[in-house]
Structure 1
């Protein structure tokens, strides 16, 4: 059953307001903000652990819903999905906090919602409470935030983890997404690269291109980039005394090895999509409904379930419209311990094999599963393509190492439609003819650049 059309005007101001005591956001702790590459690595000895006392909740599930753009009605719809999901077990509200920072198209409509079960199920009315944060996140005079301003993200993450910490904590960003770089080099504007939506059979895809933002774009403000995540995550890590259990992107194109690396030490699991997401995004009805019925699920179980409910919602008989989907959950700690070292070895072997193996590498890259961002490629499919094209013993050994590490890192993945060979993660990997983007060398923007080995291979590969 397709989603109902949302009547936006009827929803404005529909929620009742409940005042909750809160602490104003404080300045970030010294030593936890960007500096040298690797600044976001967890340092337990420096944590103040402001939220060691728990709320008694099993889960806090938070969403940064940046809807001040053409996704506005979809954002309202997803709040209704959340309310309907919690209604599958209304008593679960005692064990689960679902907190949403919402900003829509109208000026002055920014709110922090505590999602409540809707006894009427999925409908057009928002019944959730509006939290009075007393200006900690939303200015008391304007009632309007710019979700593309990094300071808003940081204030919300600080406020959230000070006041709504639970045994398990999940934080996701809802909006458009454009990968690890702004824009899409190589995308032909005539193919829809500058549009937010691309029409497809059975629905629309969220699309951004040459003139687009990275993620969390605000039509009346700015945009966010990878580097903007870390100060807010540092505050959350400090307040919780440990990393977030799950960090998610309900956006297009954010499931990269590089994205997961950016979150190291500050989140344990990344849930995101390699490919474009359909306009309907995640299935919050099924996602929150499953947690409501099973509030004792652990983070690995929840992350795997997020992937499963998303995939099921777009397959034949599912509740949402769209096609050509991917979603995966990655264990960031296992990635750091096994996958990153194995990619380093592969990068070194690839560079050493040039120029003799250039034809095989080039052919493998050109045959690899790709996505909307043409300068990236699915890592698991690339090593499969390369393995069938080379007899080089060093490369074969490195390929085996990466393959084993991927199996350990990917908690769960789903794909349907065109990305038939997706394996759960992509990397920046331009074709030889595309050239090398020098931004990939800037570790202050993309932390993965500090590993150097993969970037050194790419520079050699694209210059010969």
Structure 2
């Protein structure tokens, strides 16, 4: 932002260019900057709106919400808005459509353009730093908030600027850009740092951002496209003395109320993190990680079982698309119950998280969420090598290495192996549907962390096309008996013209939550695209008692590796993906139909159709240990 220099002092530029800045002069400049930052009363909110993505329409709506509050003597709102070329041609608060970035002030019902910035790479920390410094210089206040709005990816960062080769701000770049901007403005830290983006309420993020702000607000789960309700900032407009906790609670309550009104409230999360308490969380994570690492061979089976069932976020049936983010507080709590030799460290971590998360909200499908998640891929082959470079992940990364080493050291005679002859499995039908039962070698029982029943059909070439997987039950009597049940229905999606089968996994929530979740893998082809597609997950929260759908949202994995609600052209094509296992065991996700469905998302219809009598059915029972080793038994039956 070129204009920054005219505000922060031409004289300083001249002195630096001449190479003659003295220490007293530098100190005077810093002191003057500090005085400028401290001027004014009330709040200044800076919005870094990375709208050069498919979320542009949603982000414009967010700014319109802000304009319903508008700036006044208590609240000043400034935004850097980087717009895309293709997703919206709507004006923004009286400013005609544009491509590139503008620096604007948000008034009541309107916006004033302060500077035309042109092509800006919002994934570069320098423009973020310049915006912060400029915004503070132009809008002095007593308290400052920064909101970064767009796609999120948890520890890999935030953004995905499509006009700059899908550039993303990593956690290190976020910290550097914010820190540089605050230093230029003469401000020690922000009062509030917010991420209106998916998945950013992670331990890794909070630990890295801790020096930069007093509070952080972010979501553990994928966020619906409407994001926050910025009318919640009315409390700051009404009262210049409102404190950060009151403002934070208003933001979280506003988000929950808007989600409820728009039918997206079943699986939302949003938490406020006291970053001043992250030092205690860091210490507790390090102690917990070290304790787990030291006892990895003994506790790995317990850890694996709890990881397989703990509340997780950004799920997808395709493990290469799944984000592998687990709720840290719930994970520690469950491990501490079953692994008593690390229970002290687990309890200390739970207390630290509870102290650091003073306020949060979670829908029924995310009930019990602690407010912070952490990266935990179930097997080493799914580990992203870039995680090792995340500064805040060193202790936890060390534990992950120990966990994976323990998994690779499982002896052959303690890996899962079914005892049934020739891979046979007992099968029978009852009023519920099909049941499969088999017994695996008891020597592997302690290491088994997951069991499932999957179902599909056999092709002429011997390959199996699966259209669903659900958790099976392992008996707790030590017999190694596994029972899986399937209700003999198949999920379908229809656009009113064509209908396609769809693959699903079912996640059963807390018994008291009254909600369960179906995740469906899809591909979205934009109009004119025949080969390039975006991975999409359809998440449906439903009431397991009544079967009523509570909400449904399509989330897309962007080319940048970040996540957000899918925006489609109704003329585009949605194609469900099915899991195909070749005769040699090779797995791939293939289109369920050659035709596809029109991507008019609000009008797509879902059904669960009973399989017709006489339908040939392939069913498989699988058990997996914490090292990723598995064994399966299967049968072919005919639906009665």
Is TM > 0.5 for Structure 1 vs Structure 2? yes
Q: 1:360 to 1:234 in 2, by over 3 A?
A: same
1:416 aligns with 2:391: no
The structural deviation recorded for 1:369 is 0.8
Q: Secondary structure at the match of 1:265?
A: helix
2 CA distance for matches of 1:418 and 1:253?
16
Q: How does 1:31-110 map to 2 (within 5 A)?
A: 50-53=33-36, 54-86=38-70, 93-106=72-85, 108=99, 110=101
Compute the displacement of 1:264 (Å): 2.5
User: What residue is the counterpart of 2:633 in the other structure?
Assistant: none
CA deviations on 1:142-179 (whole Å, 9 max, x unpaired) are x3323233322122122123332311111011111112
SS class of match (2:66): helix
Pick the aligned partner of 2:139 from 158, 164, 176: 164
Of 177, 186, 202, which aligns to 1:240?
A: 186
**Residues 1:448 and 2:395 aligned together:** no
- Map residues 378-393 of structure 1 onto 2, 5 A cutoff: 378-392=327-341
Q: Which residue of 2 aligns with 1:330?
A: 273
In the alignment, which of 340, 357, 367 is matched to residue 309 of structure 2? 367
User: What SS class does the counterpart of residue 162 from structure 2 fall into?
Assistant: coil
Cα gap change, 1:48/1:462 in structure 2, threshold over 3 Å: closer, same or farther? farther
**Residues 218, 272 of structure 2: 8 Å contact kept:** yes
Residue 440 of structure 2 corresponds to which residue in structure 1?
A: none
Secondary structure, counterpart of 1:362 in structure 2: helix
Q: For residues 157-215 of structure 1, what are the alpha-carbon distances to aligned partners after superposition, in whole Å with 9 as ceiling and x for unaligned? A: 2212333231111101111111212xxxxxxxxxxxxxxxxxxxxxxxxxxxxxxxx42
User: 5+ residue gaps in structure 1?
Assistant: 1-20, 31-43, 87-91, 119-126, 133-137, 182-213
Following TM superposition, the consecutive aligned residue runs of length 4 or more in structure 1 with deviations greater than 6 angstroms are 24-27
- Is 2:116 the counterpart of 1:116? no
State the superposition RMSD in angstroms.
Answer: 2.6
Q: Deviations over 1:300-327 (max 9, x none)?
A: 2212222221122212xx2575641111
Q: In the alignment, which residue of structure 2 is the partner of 1:216?
A: 159
From the superposition, tell whether residues 235 and 149 of structure 1 become closer, same or farther in structure 2 (CA, over 3 Å): closer
Render the CA deviation track for 1:15-69: whole Å, top value 9, x for unaligned.
xxxxxx7347999xx9xxxxxxxxxxxxx9x965613233423101110011112
Q: How do residues 120-131 of structure 1 correspond to structure 2 at under 5 angstroms?
A: 127-131=110-114
Stretches of structure 2 lacking an aligned partner (at least 5 in a row):
1-5, 17-26, 86-97, 315-321, 407-640
TM superposition score normalised by structure 1: 0.73
Does the alignment pair 1:358 with 2:303? no
Number of aligned residue pairs: 365
Whole-angstrom CA distance in 1 between matches of 2:264 and 2:382? 36
- The whole-number CA distance in structure 2 between the counterparts of 1:94 and 1:228 is 33
> Which residue number corresponds to residue 300 of structure 1?
245
Matched, 1:173 2:148: yes
User: 1:367–1:385: 8 Å Cα contact kept in structure 2?
Assistant: no
Following TM superposition, by how much is the alpha carbon of 1:399 offset from its aligned partner in structure 2, in angstroms? 1.3
Taking structure 2 as the reference length, the TM-score comes to 0.54
More strand by share: 2
Indicate if the aligned counterparts of 1:148 and 1:223 stay in contact, CA closer than 8 A: yes
CA distance in 2, matches of 1:461, 1:131: 53
**Alpha-carbon offset, residue 436 of structure 1:** 3.9
- Structure 1 residue 414, shift from structure 2 partner: 0.7
Higher relative contact order (CA 8 A, sep 6+): 1
Shift of 1:433: 5.5
2:114 is paired with a residue of what secondary structure? strand
Whole-Å Cα distance in 2 between the matches of residues 149 and 105 of structure 1? 17
Alpha-carbon offset, residue 438 of structure 1: 3.2
Aligned twin of 1:348:
290
CA distance in 2, matches of 1:83, 1:349: 51
